[in-house]
């Protein structure tokens, strides 16, 4: 039988003892509700003995929940003030927590982990989208990560899971839904955070899809950038600057008078495939 979870001091006490006042510049909004944190850690399924990458553990609220669930956690934190609190957590769960100090945007996550891993994170909003695009937009596929469970501003989460025809549908939706199955797993009220952010949050869960060959992520990115860059215009206008794109619409039977937000993910992928050849 697994050892019982160690008795840890309340997170608020840890924060007070280590003087971890929330830094606006680092996008720090902390979660303290341990039941909520356990529910977040449960989203990817059973984590017992699984490798997990957590970005931005801060004082370690979500990290505790991941460790309680039996995960082997690698946590990347930029703020060196959080390291002593995280070290205490590592002592309470011997051999289960590795903490790296630095900017997650500057690290090679697959190399760091060296085995398949789940990503869980209450991401700093300012780096969240950049990491998301990087995890989904790499040319190498399938990725080393087995799932992404990420906190976003609710408006960004809705853009990731949006369907064609809605005003939220755009580049993020096409990328996420091409590369994976993306669902909105949980809404999180702003009052759950300390300090509360201005907007509501939501957690997106993505699992990687099998990829049909012959499509370059870079080309798909260029097509969606051009098409949604002028989303009110017809495709024949917005794609004019991409050599071969308007002819490819014709070959694929896609009416050039349509606008970007009416194209399905499959139609964008067909277009990118035609332009990758």
Binding site for ligand SAM (CB under 6 A): 26-31, 55-58, 61-62, 76-79, 82, 103-105, 122, 124, 127
Nearest distance from residue 10's CB to ligand SAM, in Å? 13
Nearest distance from residue 104's CB to ligand SAM, in Å? 4
Task: Give whichever of 89 and 161 is closer to ligand SAM, judged by the CB atom.
Answer: 89
Nearest distance from residue 79's CB to ligand SAM, in Å? 4
- The answer to whether the peptide bond before residue 142 is cis (omega within 30 degrees of 0) is yes
Task: Give whichever of 100 and 252 is closer to ligand SAM, judged by the CB atom.
Answer: 100
The CA distance from 268 to 260, in Å, is 9
Q: Does the annotation flag 103 for ligand binding?
A: yes
Q: Using DSSP, state whether 110 is helix, strand or coil.
A: helix
Task: Give whichever of 77 and 144 is closer to ligand SAM, judged by the CB atom.
Answer: 77
The CA distance from 174 to 191, in Å, is 31
Residue ranges of E strands in the chain: 30-31, 51-55, 72-77, 97-101, 117-121, 145-153, 180-188, 193-194, 201-208
Q: Does the annotation flag 126 for ligand binding?
A: no
Nearest distance from residue 32's CB to ligand SAM, in Å? 7
Nearest distance from residue 25's CB to ligand SAM, in Å? 9
Task: Give whichever of 61 and 143 is closer to ligand SAM, judged by the CB atom.
Answer: 61
The CA distance from 74 to 11, in Å, is 20
Q: Does the annotation flag 56 for ligand binding?
A: yes
- Cβ proximity of 134 and 188 under 8 Å: no
- How open is the CA angle 93-98-100, to the nearest 5 degrees? 145
Task: Give whichever of 61 and 90 is closer to ligand SAM, judged by the CB atom.
Answer: 61
Residues that constitute the known binding site for S-adenosyl-L-methionine: 29, 31, 56, 77, 103, 122
């Amino acid at each position: 039988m697994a050892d019982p979870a160690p008795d840890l001091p309340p997170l608020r006490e840890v924060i007070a003892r280590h003087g971890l006042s929330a830094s606006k510049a680092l996008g720090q909004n902390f979660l303290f509700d341990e039941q909520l944190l356990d529910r977040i850690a449960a989203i990817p399924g059973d984590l017992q003995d699984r490798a997990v990458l957590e970005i931005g553990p801060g004082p370690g609220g979500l990290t505790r929940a991941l460790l309680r669930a039996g995960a082997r956690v690698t946590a990347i934190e930029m703020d060196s003030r959080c390291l002593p609190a995280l070290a205490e957590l590592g002592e309470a769960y011997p051999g289960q927590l590795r903490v790296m100090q630095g900017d997650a945007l500057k690290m090679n996550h697959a190399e760091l982990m060296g085995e398949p891993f789940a990503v869980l994170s209450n991401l700093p909003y300012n780096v969240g989208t950049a990491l998301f695009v990087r995890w989904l937009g790499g040319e190498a596929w399938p990725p080393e990560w087995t799932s992404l469970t990420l906190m976003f501003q609710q408006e960004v989460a809705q853009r990731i899971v949006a369907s064609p025809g809605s005003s939220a549908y755009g580049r993020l939706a096409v990328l996420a839904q091409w590369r994976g199955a993306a669902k909105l797993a949980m809404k999180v009220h702003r009052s759950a955070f300390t300090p509360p952010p201005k907007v509501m949050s939501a957690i997106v869960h993505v699992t990687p899809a099998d990829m049909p060959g012959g499509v370059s992520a870079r080309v798909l990115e260029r097509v969606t950038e051009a098409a949604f860059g002028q989303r009110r215009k017809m495709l024949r206008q917005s794609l004019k600057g991409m050599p071969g794109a308007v002819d490819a619409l014709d070959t694929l039977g896609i009416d050039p008078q349509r606008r970007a937000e009416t194209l399905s993910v499959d139609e964008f992928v067909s277009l990118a495939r035609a332009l990758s050849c």
